[in-house]
Amino acid sequence: MAMRQFKAESKKLLDLMINSIYTNREIFLRELISNASDACDKRYFKSLTDTSVGITKDDLKIHIQPDKESRTLTISDNGIGMTKDELEKNLGTIAKSGSFDFKTENQSDNIDIIGQFGVGFYSAFMVAKKVTVISRAQGEDTAWKWESTGVEGYTLTETDKDDVGTEIILVMKDDTDTDHYSEYLEDYEITNLVKKYSDYIRFPITMYREKSRQKPKPEDAGDDYKPEYETYTELETLNSMVPIWKRPKSEVKDEDYNEFYKNKFMDYTDPLRVITSRTEGTATYTALLFIPGSTPYDYYTKEYEKGLALYASGVMIMEKCGDLLPDYFSFVKGVVDSLNISREMLQKDNQLKLMRSSLEKKIKNELHAMLVNDREKYETFWKNFGRQVKFGVYGDYGMHKDLLGDLLMFYSAKEQKLVTLDEYIEKMPEGQKCIYFAAGDDTDRLGKLPNAQLVLSKGYDLLLCTEDVDEFCLQVMHDYKEKEFQNINTGDLGLETEDEKKAAEAAETENKDLFEEIKKDLNGKIKEVKVNPTLQEHPVTLSSAEGGISMEMEKVLRRMPNAEGVESTKVLELNPNHTVFAALKAAHAAGDTDKVAKYAELLYDQALLIAGLPIEDPVAYAQLVCGLMQ
Helix (H) or strand (E) holding 76: strand 72-77
Q: How many CB atoms lie within 10 A of CB 98?
A: 10
HSE (CB half, 13 Å, CA atoms) of 336? Answer: 28
User: DSSP letters of 222-237?
Assistant: -TT----EEEEEEEEE
- The answer to whether 462 and 411 are in contact (CB under 8 A) is no
Stretch that binds ligand ADP, among 29-37, 386-394, 477-485, 564-572 (CB under 6 A): 29-37
Stretch that binds ligand ADP, among 91-99, 384-392, 461-469, 618-626 (CB under 6 A): 91-99
Q: Any contact of residue 74 with ligand ADP (CB under 6 A)?
A: no
Nearer Cβ to ligand ADP (86/422) = 86
Q: Any contact of residue 79 with ligand ADP (CB under 6 A)?
A: yes
Which of 20, 27, 29, 35 touches ligand ADP (CB under 6 A)?
A: 35
Which of 5, 23, 97, 104 touches ligand ADP (CB under 6 A)?
A: 97
DSSP 126: G
User: DSSP letters of 502-543?
Assistant: HHHHHHHHHTHHHHHHHHHHTTTS-SEEEE-TT-TT-SEEEE
Q: How many residues bind ligand ADP (CB under 6 A)?
A: 16
d(C-alpha 159, C-alpha 143), whole Å: 5
Q: Any contact of residue 77 with ligand ADP (CB under 6 A)?
A: yes
Which of 80, 111, 359, 607 touches ligand ADP (CB under 6 A)?
A: 80
d(C-alpha 355, C-alpha 357), whole Å: 6
Q: Which residue is nearest to ligand ADP (CB)?
A: 120
Which of 121, 245, 260, 261 touches ligand ADP (CB under 6 A)?
A: 121
Q: Any contact of residue 90 with ligand ADP (CB under 6 A)?
A: yes
Which of 120, 243, 386, 440 touches ligand ADP (CB under 6 A)?
A: 120
Q: Any contact of residue 99 with ligand ADP (CB under 6 A)?
A: yes
Residue of 461, 422, 591 lying closest to 514 (CA atoms): 591
Stretch that binds ligand ADP, among 95-103, 287-295, 578-586, 607-615 (CB under 6 A): 95-103
From the CB of 113, what's the least distance to ligand ADP, in Å? 13
From the CB of 36, what's the least distance to ligand ADP, in Å? 5
Nearer Cβ to ligand ADP (60/389) = 60
Q: Any contact of residue 95 with ligand ADP (CB under 6 A)?
A: yes
- Torsion on CA atoms 299, 300, 303, 306, rounded to nearest 10: 50
Write 115-120 long-range contacts (CB < 8 A, 24+): 115/22, 115/24, 115/27, 116/262, 116/267, 116/268, 117/266, 117/268, 118/27, 118/30, 118/31, 118/34, 118/263, 118/266, 119/13, 119/17, 119/31, 119/94, 119/95, 120/31, 120/35, 120/95
Nearer Cβ to ligand ADP (80/419) = 80
Which of 36, 127, 128, 308 touches ligand ADP (CB under 6 A)?
A: 36
Q: Any contact of residue 269 with ligand ADP (CB under 6 A)?
A: no
Q: Any contact of residue 166 with ligand ADP (CB under 6 A)?
A: yes
Q: How many CB atoms lie within 10 A of CB 239?
A: 21
Residue type, 444: D
From the CB of 232, what's the least distance to ligand ADP, in Å? 30
Radius of gyration of the chain (CA): 35
Which of 82, 325, 488, 531 touches ligand ADP (CB under 6 A)?
A: 82
Q: Any contact of residue 39 with ligand ADP (CB under 6 A)?
A: yes
Q: Any contact of residue 258 with ligand ADP (CB under 6 A)?
A: no
Q: What are the distances in angstroms from CA 381 to CA 215, 281, 291, 306, 625?
A: 61, 32, 8, 17, 48
Q: Interface residues with ligand ADP (CB under 6 A)?
A: 31, 35-36, 39, 77, 79-82, 90, 95, 97, 99, 120-121, 166
